[in-house]
Structure 1
Amino acid sequence: MRLRTTTSRHRYPGLVVGAVAVLALSACTGSAEDAAADEESSSDAAPAAAEGGNDEEGDQVTIGFSAPAADHGWMAAITNNVRDLAEQYPDIDLQVAEGTNDVNLQISQVETFINDGVDAIVLLPFDGAAMTPVALKAMEAGITVVNVDREFDDPNAARVTVLGDNYGMGVSAGQYVCEQAGGNEDAVVAEIAGIDSLPLTQDRSQGFEDALSECGLDVDARQAAEFTVESGEEVAAALLQSEEKIDFLWNHDDDQGVGVLAAIENAGRDEFVMVGGAGSANAMREIQDDSGVLKATVIYPSTQGADGVKLARLILQQKAMTDLVEVEVPRLVQLYAPVVTGDNVDQYIDSAFES
């Protein structure tokens, strides 16, 4: 029997749940006898609760996964983490489509999943708007859709949306710059963004600008790259040539940051503090080494696809997130964007992706 879930056609704005555990505490009052009875009852029930946990093997579920081509380290880590997660659960039959940056091909992949009758589709769209109609088609066919990273135009196109915090990345980077500037409102701030046409890039830039405004700073020079090493090096070289003085540089993406750092080294510039984005392992090693301009990076989790698969499994098996009191998986899960510095890099480096 195929597993299906009921799909609501109503919108639920504002349901944002951080990927930080929520601990619910309950209290009760009563007589000593009642308390003893409760304690005995809880003790008896504890093993059964442990045995019936979310990780216990359940009904077999077939989950299709599609994402863009792994043309940089973060995207490669997305799919690798999905595969690694599925291997931990014998009740997951994972079907992975070949990564593609061709929207029409990705639409075809989802249509194949629909025709094959999968139970759920976890989809990181190359273009969220373009993939919305086929995601709606899947939902209308009774297939649970989990939208990852790049949002659909219509929230009804997914049962769950798993997002990084792009705006929060910009805020975190801007707040770090403000702290390091120490009240110097004359500090020169530069920014190397990702693909400007993507909403995620726009959100990162807006968060950065908003945070800087709180300490009297703004972005004095800005260039957009394409999330690749080559574009990062080319854009950074042009920026460094045009700007004689920089105090702080925020680069949105650590994959393109490999090229940015190469351009900085070639230019012989070391007068500024650089902040990275996404949280790659090589960026964190640079931070640990503390011998160059890169002093911090802002996490953008590469676990989002794996989180999507795990949530799809819970929905299909009619389970919930056990650290929440709510008995259903939330509609929106947004992950946190912490700043990694030399002080806390050891906490994050083991789960970082390789550029």
Structure 2
Amino acid sequence: MFHPFKDWNDEHVVKFYIRTVHLIIFIGVIACLISAGIYIIFRPDLSERKMEKSKTIGVSYMTMNNEFYKIINQQITYEARTKGDRIILRDPALSVQKQREQIEEMLNEGIDALILTPVEASELTDILMKAREKGVKIVVVDTELIDPTLADSTIVSDNYKAGSLIGRYYLQKHANGARVVLMTHDETISGKERIRGFCDVIKKNAKIKIVGKVPCEGQTEIATPALKKFIDKGHEFDSVFCLNDLAAVGAAYGLESRRLLHKVDLYGVDASPEAKAMIYDGEMQATSAQFPTEIGKKAAQTLYRLLEGREVLPKVYVNVELVDRRNVKKYRVDRWQ
């Protein structure tokens, strides 16, 4: 076998190996120093400079007592954290005054953008004008402002269609006439649009009468006693259309307490898990499905287009679909779609 050191004595071999090892160590040290220098020059900016470049996003839905808004917020929060940005979430709990104060606080904290679901469409004009003067980007979700130009973009379900889908279904089920109660929330444009869509369709049948409107703010705990009170006044009706499924669940409790749940048809908007379970069990007839995950994704995409200085659509509609007992399994009873 060939051996390069066959003519060398042992001392020469040892010295050769020592020099070789020293050379390798020296080259390794130089390589490490060069790598460290390159890292220092080109390393990701994880210091305070990066924090200065990150964005702060203020978020205010009308309430967090609704799984719908929690799902929307999950999508926005995920996108913000992916980009290293900060979320400030506040819950006005259906108080427009509290929402105004919280937006003011967020402006003082230096937010770059605001995700908003207004408690009342007409009561935030001055604070939103102040936000725009500060250069804050505004994305409205789920409902609209009375002055849509205050928002850079509005992301909503097609609320008029949601109501009209139920209206068309209702006409088929009540062709011979009916007496319907409306559970309303007139402070929100989304709620008003759903009611308007429903009423525009059912008025085609003169035998269908609206016997009353019951304000409920779209909340279960308000809808239940409100409908009980309406029933106790002696009003007679055979169906209830609710602006959302939280109100429909509240209406169901009220009807059940008066032994009317299986005598009165019940309709809503959302396709929440609770409403779909009621449809499956025959305690509710139909609802229009909203897609909060899709709304949240579109809101996040729009938000970051704005922050990047890119153009966005002033209004984006997310489609709605009718859910009844025939297709409820398609939408998964145990979760939002």
TM-score (ref. length: structure 1) = 0.69
What is the identity, as a one-letter code, of the residue corresponding to 1:298? S
Are 1:315 and 2:330 an aligned pair?
Answer: no
The residue number in structure 2 matching 1:77 is 68
The residue correspondences of 1:62-101 to structure 2 (distance < 5 A) are 62-71=56-65, 73=66, 76-87=67-78, 90-100=82-92, 101=94
The residue number in structure 1 matching 2:328 is 345
Offset of 1:96 from its aligned partner?
2.5
Offset of 1:250 from its aligned partner?
1.6
1:217/1:141 CA distance change after superposition, 3 Å: farther
The residue correspondences of 1:1-355 to structure 2 (distance < 5 A) are 60-71=54-65, 73=66, 76-87=67-78, 90-100=82-92, 101-181=94-174, 183-184=175-176, 187-226=177-216, 227-241=218-232, 242-244=234-236, 246=238, 248-269=239-260, 270-290=262-282, 292=283, 294-303=284-293, 304=295, 307-317=298-308, 328-349=311-332, 352-353=335-336
The SS at the match of 2:332 is helix
1:191/1:169 CA distance change after superposition, 3 Å: farther
2:54–2:86 CA contact under 8 A, matched in 1: no
1:63–1:118 CA contact under 8 A, matched in 2: yes
1:107/1:235 CA distance change after superposition, 3 Å: closer
1:351/1:146 CA distance change after superposition, 3 Å: farther
The residue number in structure 1 matching 2:4 is none
2:58–2:111 CA contact under 8 A, matched in 1: yes
The residue number in structure 1 matching 2:41 is none
Offset of 1:177 from its aligned partner?
0.3
Offset of 1:121 from its aligned partner?
1.2
1:348/1:166 CA distance change after superposition, 3 Å: same
Offset of 1:274 from its aligned partner?
1.9
Offset of 1:84 from its aligned partner?
4.5
What CA distance in whole angstroms lies between the structure 1 residues aligned with 2:296 and 2:109? 21
1:307/1:177 CA distance change after superposition, 3 Å: same
What CA distance in whole angstroms lies between the structure 1 residues aligned with 2:89 and 2:180? 39
Q: Structure 1: which 5+ residue stretches go unaligned?
A: 1-58, 320-327
Overall identity of the aligned pairs, in % = 23
> How big is each residue's C-alpha offset from its partner over 1:51-82, in whole Å with a ceiling of 9 and x where there is no partner?
xxxxxxxx9543221122323x2xx4313431
Q: Structure 2: which 5+ residue stretches go unaligned?
A: 1-52
1:315/1:93 CA distance change after superposition, 3 Å: same
2:76–2:296 CA contact under 8 A, matched in 1: no
What CA distance in whole angstroms lies between the structure 1 residues aligned with 2:137 and 2:303? 7
> How big is each residue's C-alpha offset from its partner over 1:153-180, in whole Å with a ceiling of 9 and x where there is no partner?
3333111011233322221111110122
1:267/1:110 CA distance change after superposition, 3 Å: closer
1:67/1:306 CA distance change after superposition, 3 Å: farther
The SS at the match of 1:176 is helix
The SS at the match of 1:265 is helix
2:178–2:209 CA contact under 8 A, matched in 1: yes
1:220/1:157 CA distance change after superposition, 3 Å: closer
The SS at the match of 1:97 is strand
The SS at the match of 1:95 is strand
What is the identity, as a one-letter code, of the residue corresponding to 1:202? K
If you compute each CA radius of gyration, which structure gives the higher value, 1 or 2? 2
Q: CA RMSD in A?
A: 2.8
Give 1 or 2: higher helix fraction.
Answer: 2
Offset of 1:123 from its aligned partner?
1.3
1:86/1:249 CA distance change after superposition, 3 Å: same
Offset of 1:351 from its aligned partner?
8.5
1:124–1:305 CA contact under 8 A, matched in 2: no
What CA distance in whole angstroms lies between the structure 1 residues aligned with 2:197 and 2:166? 9
Offset of 1:284 from its aligned partner?
0.2
TM-score (ref. length: structure 2) = 0.72
